Each structure stands twice: as structure tokens, then as C-alpha cells.
Amino acid sequence: MEFSVLTVNPAKVETACLVVPLFADGDLLSAAAQLDDASERLIAQLLERGDFSPELANVQLIPFAPGLAAERLMLVGLGKRDKFNEGALRKALDAAFGALAKLPVDSVAVAFTDADIDDRDVAWNAQMTLESATRAVYRFTQCKSTPAEAPQLAQVEVLIDDAGQVDAAKAGARIGAALGDGVNLARTLGNLPGNICTPSYLASQAETLAGESDGTLTTEILDEAALESLGAGALLAVGQGSAEPSRLIVMKYQGADDPDEAPHVLVGKGITFDTGGISIKPGAGMDEMKFDMCGAASVFGTMKSVIALKPKLNVIALVASAENMPDGRAIKPGDIVTTLKGLTVEILNTDAEGRLVLCDALAYAERFQPASVVDIATLTGACVIALGDHASGLFSNDDDLALDLLDAGENAWDRAWHMPLWDDYQAQLDSNFADLANIGGRPAGSITAACFLSRFAESYPWAHLDIAGTAWDSGKQKGASGRPVGLLTRYLLDREGERVVTSEA
Ligand code: BES
Ligand code: MN
Ligand code: ZN
């Protein structure tokens, strides 16, 4: 999405559509007041007569308005001023841009910076605006024989009334547009069916991103032979029943001046389809297990944002990718595998496969001596029961890292909730035959899954995001959400310039 920042009187802006927010109570905001003056009190009269009710996310298009240079006017309700917060602004933005994406307009001018929120600056507001606009024009049409026409909207002019804030607004808009592109890439990868989006397809995505990166991103793809000689027995075990070969995908972004500066590592679960394997899942809704690579998708999406924004830090992305199928060669309950770290695992349920591919990627991450490692995974149904589709589950062995991620989620409005990772839960993973079992029984299912991962992440600050509830929507709106690209991108941007102090050996 293209953007520009303008400080002119909104009544004078020549645009296909001028978009103006209104609170349900109180005075007109700056842009609305100026338009009202220029248009014989058009807005005040609409409100007085009850022709427009500024409830939250209520949107009304006015085809033409006297005294305005714009071809159309769109009013957007913000609801009650005392209830207005980040979530409300996002609802209003999404309603407005959702409607604008259906209109025959390619450029709009918006006055959302009038909708001020305590503790949020113009840059933040402009970021939210461009992110929403970019998400609104997304359509997944790749698998339709005759795709519907794509939205025309391609440019947003951000109106601000303080000329001193132009640079801040531009900086925020730039982040929002890049973030939106990252979110949309994650949605596309998530939405692609399992017969197209295979581990090899994800590997080719890494090459594509490297090609777009001006040389800042390099990739390395580990195939099954490479994983075999490495000893990644858990990752290989999950894919051994599939005709699709498994892959460990490595992407390295170098943004720091010092190539040896400790990197931040992202690790994505890339199960391109999860049947459950021999511990097969019930049939109803199983199609949604094509979304079991949304952790990987969020890693690709974040890397897309990163190569666009070029922060000065080093990032390494790992995607552990396999297809989980039942087969004559598939792993069975009771099988014992040796992981890359050397620990042996008794596979009591082949449907707990995410932790198996991730544990080898987490062990692989050690070689980078990372500043932090964050894995992202659609790991447990239990997390959906615990948190629903609003918050991702956050688990960490480092409280500072956990706070940084919670902060990033609040800032990007892509929130996570801190869950316990106490030693008390570890005993649920005891095995009579191997070092540990891959399931811990029904109680605290998402915590024991995180406990399993923690055994492979002991040598660095590590966090795990369980996105089983947040990565996609079900029902009529079925589709990948692109979360938590917002949280991850903000987390990385906040690390820029933060020099990691490494202790002398
Ligand atoms: N991919 C699933 C988790 C999942 C299920 C995400 C439903 C979103 C919606 C994961 O591989 C899985 O099957 N987990 C099992 C673990 C169990 C066997 C311990 C689960 O949650 O049932
Ligand atoms: Mn599973
Ligand atoms: Zn899974």
C-alpha cells in the first residue's frame, strides 16, 4: 500500500474519498469540524437528525458533499469516547477500510490521527492505519478458476493537523505498510492447501524472500539426507510416514553492522498437514489442519516485514517442516526416537508431533549462540480452550524476554498472555522407557507441551507462543489471520540498537 502524509485543510483535499472519524458523544474532532464549517454544517446536521449514528465501526458513505474538494465522504463511528481504546480504533479502521476496499476508489485520504488514544502517538496511529488498509485489500484467490476482481485501493493519504508530526506519521505508516504485507504473506501461506503448500514449497518461499531482500537475507535448506547426518531424529520421525520429504529451512537476515552480533532466532512449526498420524484425528474439521504451518507462516511473514524495514540487528529464522501422515512407515505409539540434542523421546501419541519437529529446531538454534529464541506454533487444542481466539499463549524460561514479548503484543495489538512454566508440571512427561514422553496427559495440555520444548531450550533465553487459537478463523470467515506477525515484528524492531552484552569466556 502506497502512502503519503498531508497537513492541509481536509475540506480542500482532492481525493476519491475522504474518511472522517466521529465520536458518539462530544464535539466534532478536528477534521470533522473543518469539514462541517466548509459544508454548511453537513456533519452536525446528519448527527442531529439521527441520519448517522457514530456507534463503533458504523460506516456511512456520502456520495457528494457541498463545499468539499473530495468526491465522496465516509463517516466512521468511534463509539463512546470513554470506551475508546486500541481495540476500538482497530475495529473502526477495519470497518472503514473493509468498506473502502469494495468501492471503485484507488486512493483515499483519512483523518484517523484525530482519534487519539492516551499513550499512543501519531506514529502508532499511522502504523495502525496503514496496517489495516493493507490487510483490507487482501484476497485469497489463488485457487479460484475465475478470481473476483481485486480491490482497487492502493494509496492512503494520512491527514494530520500538526505539521511537526509529519516525520513521525511517515515512520509509523512505513511500519504499518510493511507489517501488513508480512501479515498478508502469512495469510496466503496459511490459506494454501496442503497439496500445494508442502515442506518443499515452504523451502521455495525462503528462496523467494531471499531474492526480494537486496542480499540481506540468505537461506540454507536442510533436506532429509542433511537432517539424517545431523541426527535430527525427531523431525525426521514425524515426516517418515509422508510422501512429502521433510525440511529444516534456515533464513539468515544480517542487518547489524557486525555480522557476529548475537542474533534473535525465530522458530516456526511448519506441519503442512496434521492428520494426527497413526493417532489419527476425527474427520470433522480436519481440513483446518492445513493451518498447522501457521507458526512457520508467521515466521515468513515477519521476515518479509524485516527485509522491508531493514532494522539494524541480526535475525535467524528456522522453519521445521513436515507432513504428519498415517502410513506403513509412520511412527507408532510407543516408538522411541533420538533427538538432535541426544535426548530420547517415547512417542505416546503421534498427534503430538509439533513438539517433535520443534525440539530438533530448538537444539539446532544453539549453534547460533542466540540473544533470544522465540518459537511460534499451533501446538495444542488445549490452548484454544484456555485462551480462545484473542490471546496467544506465552511461555518462557526468561521473565525479561516474556515481558518484552507481552509489550510487543500490546503495542502491535496482537496480544499474548503469560502462562506458567513451572517445574511442577515437568513430571507429567516422565517415561518408563525413554528420557521423556511426548505427551503429559490431559491436565494443563498446553503447559506440558511447553515443558517438553523447554528441555531443548535450556542454553538461551527462550519463549514459546502457542497460536493454536489465534492463527486462523473458523466458520464462514475461515482463513488464516496472519498473527502473530504484528507481535513478532514489533518485538524485533524494539531490539534494534539494543546491544547484547556477552560475558567473557
Ligand atoms: N496441531 C495440533 C494442535 C491443534 C489442534 C491446533 C486443534 C489447533 C486446533 C497438534 O499437533 C495436536 O494435535 N495436539 C494435540 C496434542 C495432544 C495429542 C497431547 C492436541 O492438542 O490435541
Ligand atoms: Mn497433531
Ligand atoms: Zn499439529
Task: Kindly give the distance from the C-alpha atom of residue 273 to the centroid of ligand 1, in angstroms, as a whole number.
Answer: 12
Task: Kindly give the distance from the C-alpha atom of residue 174 to the centroid of ligand 2, in angstroms, as a whole number.
Answer: 38
Q: Please tell me the residue having the least CA distance from ligand 1 atom 8.
A: 468
Q: Which of 20, 44, 43, 42 minimizes the C-alpha distance to 31?
A: 20
> How would residue 158 be classed by pLDDT, with cut points 50, 70 and 90?
very high
Q: Which domains does the chain have, with CATH numbers?
A: 2-182 (3.40.220.10), 192-504 (3.40.630.10)
Q: Please tell me the residue having the least CA distance from ligand 1 atom 5.
A: 381
Using the predicted structure, report yes or no on whether residue 505 has a pLDDT greater than 50.
Answer: no
Provide the grid cell at 121. 502517538
CA of 269, nearest ligand number? 3
| Whole-angstrom distance, CA of residue 286 vs CA of residue 271 | 13
> How would residue 497 be classed by pLDDT, with cut points 50, 70 and 90?
confident
Using the predicted structure, report yes or no on whether residue 502 has a pLDDT greater than 80.
Answer: no
Mean pLDDT, the chain, rounded, equals: 97
| Whole-angstrom distance, CA of residue 311 vs CA of residue 315 | 10
Is the minimum distance from the CB of 277 to ligand 1 under 6 angstroms? Answer: no
SS3 call for 29: coil
| Whole-angstrom distance, CA of residue 353 vs CA of residue 240 | 12
Is the minimum distance from the CB of 86 to ligand 1 under 6 angstroms? Answer: no
The most distant pair of C-alpha atoms in the chain lies apart, rounded to whole Å, by: 82
Task: Kindly give the distance from the C-alpha atom of residue 26 to the centroid of ligand 3, in angstroms, as a whole number.
Answer: 50
CA of 277, nearest ligand number? 2
Ion ligand 3 — residues with CB under 5 Å? 271, 274, 292, 354
Is the minimum distance from the CB of 384 to ligand 1 under 6 angstroms? Answer: yes
The stretch 437-442 carries a mean pLDDT of 98
CA of 322, nearest ligand number? 3
Using the predicted structure, report yes or no on whether residue 448 has a pLDDT greater than 90.
Answer: yes
> How would residue 498 be classed by pLDDT, with cut points 50, 70 and 90?
confident
Ion ligand 2 — residues with CB under 5 Å? 274, 351, 353
Percentage with pLDDT > 90 across the chain: 97
Is the minimum distance from the CB of 404 to ligand 1 under 6 angstroms? Answer: no
Query: Strand (E) positions, 88-226?
Result: 107-110, 155-159, 217-222
Q: Please tell me the residue having the least CA distance from ligand 1 atom 7.
A: 381
Q: Please tell me the residue having the least CA distance from ligand 1 atom 22.
A: 381
What's the confidence (pLDDT) of residue 86? Answer: 98
pLDDT tens digits for range 392-422: 999 999 999 999 999 999 999 999 999 999 9
Is the Cβ–Cβ distance between 265 and 365 less than 8 Å?
yes
Residue 441, judged by CB atoms within 10 A of its CB (0-12, 13-18, 19+), counts as exposed
Is the minimum distance from the CB of 466 to ligand 1 under 6 angstroms? Answer: no
* Strands of the 336-338 sheet, one edge to the other: 336-338, 344-346, 436-437
Is the minimum distance from the CB of 439 to ligand 1 under 6 angstroms? Answer: yes
Mutational pocket test of ligand 1: of 286, 325, 351, 470, the residue with most ligand atoms within 8 Å of the beta carbon: 351
Query: Number of helices (H) and strands (E), helices first, in the chain?
Result: 14, 19
The stretch 158-162 carries a mean pLDDT of 96
From residue 497, alpha-carbon distances to 171, 299, 487 in Å are 17, 21, 18
Is the minimum distance from the CB of 292 to ligand 1 under 6 angstroms? Answer: yes
Task: Kindly give the distance from the C-alpha atom of residue 458 to the centroid of ligand 1, in angstroms, as a whole number.
Answer: 24
CA of 429, nearest ligand number? 1
Is the Cβ–Cβ distance between 177 and 218 less than 8 Å?
no
> How would residue 64 be classed by pLDDT, with cut points 50, 70 and 90?
confident
Using the predicted structure, report yes or no on whether residue 1 has a pLDDT greater than 50.
Answer: yes
Task: Kindly give the distance from the C-alpha atom of residue 255 to the centroid of ligand 3, in angstroms, as a whole number.
Answer: 33
pTM of the model: 0.98
Using the predicted structure, report yes or no on whether residue 504 has a pLDDT greater than 50.
Answer: no
Is the Cβ–Cβ distance between 428 and 339 less than 8 Å?
no
Strand partners, 317: 251, 266
| Whole-angstrom distance, CA of residue 269 vs CA of residue 281 | 18
Is the minimum distance from the CB of 294 to ligand 1 under 6 angstroms? Answer: no
> How would residue 171 be classed by pLDDT, with cut points 50, 70 and 90?
very high
CA atoms within 13 Å, Cβ hemisphere of 389: 10
> How would residue 200 be classed by pLDDT, with cut points 50, 70 and 90?
very high
Task: Kindly give the distance from the C-alpha atom of residue 351 to the centroid of ligand 2, in angstroms, as a whole number.
Answer: 4
Produce one character per residue of 9-28: b if its CB has 16 or more CB atoms within 10 Å, e if not.
Answer: ebbebebbbbbbbbbbeeeb
Q: Please tell me the residue having the least CA distance from ligand 1 atom 9.
A: 381
Is the minimum distance from the CB of 270 to ligand 1 under 6 angstroms? Answer: no
Mutational pocket test of ligand 1: of 287, 347, 380, the residue with most ligand atoms within 8 Å of the beta carbon: 380
Catalytic residue list: 281, 355
What's the confidence (pLDDT) of residue 501? Answer: 55
The stretch 292-305 carries a mean pLDDT of 99
Is the minimum distance from the CB of 380 to ligand 1 under 6 angstroms? Answer: yes
Is the Cβ–Cβ distance between 294 and 472 less than 8 Å?
yes
Is the minimum distance from the CB of 272 to ligand 1 under 6 angstroms? Answer: no
**Atom in ligand 1 nearest the alpha carbon of residue 382:** 21
Is the Cβ–Cβ distance between 215 and 307 less than 8 Å?
no
Is the minimum distance from the CB of 445 to ligand 1 under 6 angstroms? Answer: yes
Task: Kindly give the distance from the C-alpha atom of residue 384 to the centroid of ligand 2, in angstroms, as a whole number.
Answer: 14
Is the minimum distance from the CB of 326 to ligand 1 under 6 angstroms? Answer: no
> How would residue 26 be classed by pLDDT, with cut points 50, 70 and 90?
confident
* DSSP strand pairing (155-159 vs 217-222): unpaired
Task: Kindly give the distance from the C-alpha atom of residue 288 to the centroid of ligand 3, in angstroms, as a whole number.
Answer: 11
From residue 409, alpha-carbon distances to 140, 255, 278, 405, 500 in Å are 26, 23, 37, 6, 22
